[in-house]
Chain A
């Protein structure tokens, strides 16, 4: 740990990048990285490093870091482990960050890591990795991921696995997430997940932080930084190996009970971080944190379901109950107002509100807006889950504007206010290509209005449950602050 706080702006906004591991003859990983930088719109200087070649990817190549004519903000090293120290030995205080992809040889791993740390100390630079894949930073025009979208977003990721980092980015993009940064840290021998958490928590571009960790390194430091955050910025965790992080041999009963996920569960309860157990749940939690405005809670949250499908609605209510939601009541006033709409037969106006597609199609899909307006104003649930069985709705494709009108009604973008219920959309499909196309349309429309979209109701309920647990934490924090 360095004494002075590292300025990670140079990592996320590098003016100069050196690349070791590009070839003059073949398309190696380093070449692909350089091509990716150009495609992504990187504007700074790129310096390929090579022991003999004079030109790589149309750029002048340099023998070593000491030959490069300026300070290097970021060096991307895909050379084998045996060559890494040689490249870094030339840094001579001219380098800020080195990201090392190589994995240590199993037998010499410890010694290699120690030598790397010494090199970083001598050369006054920081190491990302080793055993990782790169850094994605749209604000700096830098990426290592083929197919990454250059748009600057608000989700900041720290990931101790390179491959999973690429999954998070690509699958997150498909869900509509855009990133303020994504750093793969691998073995994290120098820069730790806590260092980057610290950066993201202070970073104005980042609205939510997501972390995949296998070895948190500085657990107390992590805990204390999260306590200091006090839930101001939501943090979502996916912890690898959580089921076999057993405790050491214990003499006490307490020690014997302490294994597995106990400490992580305590961390979540004490700091308000959202602990998830799968990649999908992690991404879903990022969606809600990214788009919903938290409203501190001090009671059990209520939920309202609206959509087509009788059995689906019944199962939805079961799922909500299991997750600790109560169904928002539809009072007499609201019920009277709904009756006055004189909906065609087939609807069930309790909660869940079940409106078959044959009713949803009324007014070319605009009828839903009037129903939801009554619900929002008179029933005020904490959250509304609007679910569409697109397989059935697709049968009404002959009605002009049905789907766009229906989506407008659900999202209600122009009229949404601060205290409104959280709205999430569930777009259910049967997998037919034409229905999948509609699902993509639903997602695009919802995402552009800042509304999370899920494929099935249980996923939406779980994401909302996670978000409400965070809102309960905020409620507790506020109450305790006002009591003191």
Chain B
């Protein structure tokens, strides 16, 4: 039972807005994953702990604050389907292996026109229930936020719900309760329920009255896929923000 009586305090979005403005100013069609996750953190949505590294930077010092095993991802200012082009490597055991993998990935991607902006090295995220959150602009109703269960639940069963922005916490909960796989969130077979309120907060930060997707027009559409939810909260593992092209940008 949620009897929250306080309204959440207004978040300062000025840094988030700067990330978007900078990307638009440099004519990027999408935020790279590093910037996308920085944006999410500004919204109070946790992400995997990670560091941006250059294409040739020495890794020893750069990633020493991270705990292995690592995930390595190519960064691009274009919306990439990373796994399709071999731009992701997971469960890398140590820094030596990471360096080898980074060089290999760089060489593999060299021939592709993907506007490589570096690499992202992250700690691996613990297992939990995979969810997805996304946003798009509907020609009739304006901004819509989507939420669903990840993996095959989204890919095959399309077990997702949409909400028209702006919406409130009750709408966000009703959206989750409407999912066929809702019981996975409530804890199946002895597993504890995931932190549903953390998902609700994320949905409100994106599509609520003050949500960034509700109040700004620079994000055309986005996928946060997946987020890992467990009883302690949610962590965004991947994020793609596709930007609206500026009015003077008719290439």
Contact = CB atoms under 8 A, between A and B. Distances in A.
Contact of B138 (A219, A251, A269, A476): A219
Contacts of A253: 132, 134, 154, 223, 225
Contacts of A223: 141, 164
B221 A263 contact: no
Interface stretch (A254-262, A282-290, A375-383): A254-262
Contacts of B144: 258, 262-263, 266
Interface stretch (A242-250, A344-352, A399-407): A242-250
A70 interface: no
B100 interface: no
A484 interface: yes
A270 B2 contact: no
B135 interface: yes
Contacts of A297: none
B223 A254 contact: yes
A483 interface: yes
Nearest to A254: B134
Contacts of B70: none
A367 interface: no
A247 B5 CA distance: 38
Contacts of B141: 219-220, 223, 263, 266-267
B142 interface: yes
Interface in B128-181: 132, 134-136, 138-142, 144, 146, 154, 158, 160-164, 167-168, 170-171, 174-175, 178
A187 to B, nearest CB: 16
User: Which range contains the number of A residues in contact with the other chain?
Assistant: 20 to 34
A484 B162 contact: no
Contacts of B164: 223, 263, 266-267, 270
A247 B162 CA distance: 13
Contacts of A374: none
Contacts of A254: 132, 134-136, 146, 221-223
Contacts of B2: 483
Q: Which of A216, A245, A248, A254 has the most CB of B within 10 A?
A: A254
A409 to B, nearest CB: 40
Contact of A483 (B4, B154, B161): B4
A474 to B, nearest CB: 13
A263 B145 CA distance: 10
Nearest to B173: A476
B242 interface: yes
8 contacts: A220-B142, A223-B141, A254-B135, A262-B144, A266-B144, A266-B175, A270-B171, A483-B3
Interface of B: 2-5, 79, 132, 134-136, 138-142, 144, 146, 154, 158, 160-164, 167-168, 170-171, 174-175, 178, 220-223, 225, 240, 242
Interface of A: 216, 219-220, 223, 245, 247-248, 250-255, 257-258, 262-263, 265-267, 269-270, 476, 480, 483-484
